[in-house]
Amino acid sequence: MANKIYINATSVKNTNSRIPTIKSEVSNIKSGINSTRYSIQSSVAARNNISASMSQIYNDIVKIEGSLQELFSTVNSCVNTYVNADDRVKRMAQNVSIWRK
């Protein structure tokens, strides 16, 4: 007997809808880092590569933002594809049961 796969599309959509909020929070952190990075005196920022480290953190956050956006888009696309396929299978199953009668 084949195993059934069930995905609660509503739950997935609800969970995925939180990603833009998370991305916004990450953007706020990025802005804070950028602001701090340019407010530190250059002589202080040069010590222990503080400036380079903050630049690397900033760039890493930019990548995280991109990954969050990609995740959001991919999950939306996948869940929509799943729902459409599930609906199609249900319609086909209804047609088969009607033809059997």
Distances (CA, A) of 50 to 33, 45, 55, 64: 12, 5, 9, 21
Residue 15, domain member (yes or no) = no
Residue 2, domain member (yes or no) = no
**Count of domains forming the chain:** 1
Residue 96, domain member (yes or no) = no
Residue 53, domain member (yes or no) = yes
What's this model's pTM, rounded to 2 decimal places? 0.78
Looking at residue 63, its pLDDT comes to 98
Tell me which residue range forms the domain holding 60. Answer: 20-85
With 90 as the cut, is the pLDDT of residue 5 above it? no
Residue 40 in contact with residue 58, Cβ under 8 Å?
A: no
Residue 90, domain member (yes or no) = no
Please give the residue that has the higher pLDDT: either 47 or 54: 54
Task: Identify the CA nearest to 86 among candidates 42, 94, 46.
Answer: 94
With 90 as the cut, is the pLDDT of residue 21 above it? yes
